[in-house]
Amino acid sequence: MCSSADHDPPQPRSSAHSRPGSTIFGVETVDDVRAALAEHEYLADEGLATAVFLAIRLQRPLLLEGEAGVGKTEVAKVLARWTGGELVRLQCYEGIDAAQAVYEWDYSRQLLHLRAVEAGGGEVVEDELYSEKFLVKRPLLRAIAYEHDTLGASAPPVLLVDEVDRADDEFEAFLLEILSDYTVTVPELGTFHASVPPLVVVTSNRTRDVHDALKRRCLYHWIGHPDFERELAILRVRAPEVPEALAHQVAAAVQALRELDLYKPPGVAETIDWANALAALGQTEIDEHAVGVTLGTILKYREDQERTRAQGLDRVVQSAMERSA
């Protein structure tokens, strides 16, 4: 497979899922998306809800970038829960190749088959060895060849290509080809084509820039840190057992921490952890001592902890009290 910057971005397919004006998963407006995500405990702002709506409507992959812990991966998980489609996850890493991402032949099973046939005095036809029986489908092919596996399933899978920035350039080449027309060619077998395209979510922490060719095929959305109100709402949903006053103060303190010049400002995941940690310690409100002993749940770099302590934990507490009042 090769990359090509000349391919056009994928066009909406003519299927029951893409007829102009038809509803997909009962979605007609951006608010429908927002409500459906919220029902599955994901609170999106208007920008993200619009991006998801368009990704569904236009059948385009959605590239989500943002700091760590802001809810990129969770979007795909929630989409799968909402639509009922299988979550097919591909975790990217340096050196990932087609054998791990697309498909490979099961050589040991082929060999066993070969020996068994020979032991029985038979002759092996080569085509037999390169049949689907011996094909190991990796996530990208599984998401494309979905109907081959699960006839009758109504919802397309949700393909999560997680942390694409960790993979190398060659990997983006496979991805480009697949996202261009939702097909995968296995030379020995032929071409698999997704008659119902998967919902595709690609995430990146931006440790390197994703190539323009890939970006062109995707809708793009940057997920920023939530504002105070949304983070508080997320806490209520994701950590409902945390006392109300404590949740308010935690959400406010996190806003204050993000204003410090930290190496890794806390993400939503850390906010939830922090609130849960404080609640587990029996706190109903934050105070300087409690912030000090739980700092490791919210700041994961020594330098960030030192900087925060140097600024004064009392200031974090005070600022939280003021903001949450």
Q: Which is nearer to ligand ATP, 198 or 266 (CB)?
A: 266
- Parallel, antiparallel or unpaired: strands 183-186 and 190-193: antiparallel
Instruction: Select from 15, 69, 34, 24 the least CA-distant residue to 299.
Output: 69
Q: Which is nearer to Mg ion, 3 or 73 (CB)?
A: 73
* Residue 269: CB minimum distance to Mg ion, A: 9
* Burial (0-12, 13-18, 19+ Cβ within 10 Å), 308: buried
Neighbours of 120 (CB within 10 A): 8
Residue closest to ligand ATP when measured from CB atoms:
71
CB 236 within 8 A of CB 81: no
Instruction: Select from 227, 108, 96, 91 the least CA-distant residue to 160.
Output: 91
The residues of the shown chain that bind ligand ATP, judged by CB under 6 A, are 41-44, 66, 68-74, 203, 205, 234, 238, 268-269, 272
Q: Which two tokens stand for residue 153?
A: 């399933």
* Burial (0-12, 13-18, 19+ Cβ within 10 Å), 106: middle
* Residue 234: CB minimum distance to ligand ATP, A: 4
Q: Which is nearer to ligand ATP, 39 or 149 (CB)?
A: 39
Tell me, rounded to whole angstroms, the distance of Cα 126 from its chain centroid.
40
**Which residues, in sequence order, are CB contacts of 209 under 8 Å at separation 6+?**
165
Q: Of these partners, ligand ATP, Mg ion, none, which one is at the site of residue 279 (CB under 5 to 8 Å by kind)?
A: none
Q: Of these partners, Mg ion, ligand ATP, none, which one is at the site of residue 231 (CB under 5 to 8 Å by kind)?
A: none
Q: Which is nearer to ligand ATP, 178 or 202 (CB)?
A: 202
* Residue 21: CB minimum distance to ligand ATP, A: 29
* Residue 202: CB minimum distance to ligand ATP, A: 12
Rounded to 5 degrees, what are φ and ψ at 200?
-115, 125
* Residue 269: CB minimum distance to ligand ATP, A: 4
Q: Which is nearer to ligand ATP, 73 or 308 (CB)?
A: 73
Q: Of these partners, Mg ion, ligand ATP, none, which one is at the site of residue 322 (CB under 5 to 8 Å by kind)?
A: none
CB 233 within 8 A of CB 25: no
* Residue 73: CB minimum distance to Mg ion, A: 3
Q: Which is nearer to ligand ATP, 173 or 219 (CB)?
A: 219
Using CB under 5 A, which residues numbered 20 to 79 contact Mg ion? 73
Q: Of these partners, ligand ATP, Mg ion, none, which one is at the site of residue 117 (CB under 5 to 8 Å by kind)?
A: none
Q: Of these partners, Mg ion, ligand ATP, none, which one is at the site of residue 71 (CB under 5 to 8 Å by kind)?
A: ligand ATP
Site membership for Mg ion, residue 204 (CB under 5 A):
no
Dihedral sign, CA of 166, 63, 72, 16? negative
* Residue 189: CB minimum distance to ligand ATP, A: 34
Tell me, rounded to whole angstroms, the distance of Cα 163 from its chain centroid.
8
User: Residue 83 and residue 197: Cα distance in Å, rounded?
Assistant: 13
Q: Which is nearer to ligand ATP, 153 or 269 (CB)?
A: 269
Q: Which two tokens stand for residue 156?
A: 């397309």
Binding site for Mg ion (CB under 5 A): 73
